Structure 1
Amino acid sequence: MIGMVLDKRKIKTKRLIEMTFINILSEKELSRITIKEICEKALISKSTFYDHYVDKYALVDTIIQEYSNEFQKEIHERFKSVDEHNTFEVISGITQGMALQNKNLSTILRVTGTDSSLESNFRKILFRESFAYFTSHPINKRFSREFLAKMYAELALASIAYTLSNYEDKELINQQADFINLLQQAIIEKL
């Protein structure tokens, strides 16, 4: 029982550190954030921070990995449930889900100066999943799977960025969804 309580406390502390860090990161560049500042705002000691992370770069890498893992699961499930004539609906589903996490996601997507970035992870995930889909569902003989997967990944990333910057304007988001649907129809008709 005691081990379970400690695990819950560690999980809560880890979440507190991550959310505090993201809040600070929304106001400052990564290079200007200090461990002391994170600890003061989270109301924890430095030793508590170091019990969880080696430094702020390990913290940001952990957050990027968590978002990437969640995104991987979401994309994989969406591609599993799609049929040949609505592949671009996956983009609409992704962007709608992203809008719900707008502030945190926008903040983490802007992070630079680390070994990996959330944007590059998202790009790789989108490429891999769409390539696998186009490999198992050969809906197009005109374009290579690599080309289709690359274009799909870039379009999805552009849609995500657009959604995150315009999430409050429902009309623009609806226009984006309509545009994606028209694009999909045009591509299918030309195949």
Structure 2
Amino acid sequence: MKTLVRPVTEADLDRLVELNRASVPAVNDIDGDEMRWLVGHAELAVAIVDAGKADAEAGTPHPDAVLGFVLALRPGLDYSSENYRWFSERGADFVYVDRIVVADGHRSAGLGAALYDAVFERALALGAAEVECEVNVEPPNPGSMAFHSRLGFAEVGRQSTKGGTTVVALLARPLAG
């Protein structure tokens, strides 16, 4: 299957919410309005799509053409995420990956790495010092921890969130200029 990474469009929002919901608890559940806000405030909002189902010449793309997405934010937003606030207080010049999601059945196929390549490229273009994210350690998400480790992320902190129901490892990957 041939894929391509492209900007998220308004037409993608329902699919993004669907993919996001299918990935809970690895990501927080959000509704369409919250997704629209995040996409609208993201420094980078890209989707990875099945190129065969996303042929622009064919008109409206197939509803499941979007196989995954990433939303990355810059510092300075009025955003209530506990993890985003933690990184903001840390003071580093960063690009924060608020969520990266790949559809079930398409994981371990390089799609997440392709999405992160887009994040790293954008962060370097902005002159950011690092890319930051978090991964659940309670409930555990060992696959995501291993994936982020392979990409060069290291733990820089840990915090309890969601009223103590979740513990996250706060991860950062320095960027070389």
Calculate the TM-score normalised by the size of structure 2. 0.32
Structure (1 or 2) with the greater strand fraction: 2
Calculate the TM-score normalised by the size of structure 1. 0.30
Q: Please tell me whether Structure 1 or Structure 2 has the larger radius of gyration of its CA atoms.
A: 1
Which structure would you say has the larger RCO, counting Cα contacts within 8 Å and 6 or more residues apart?
1
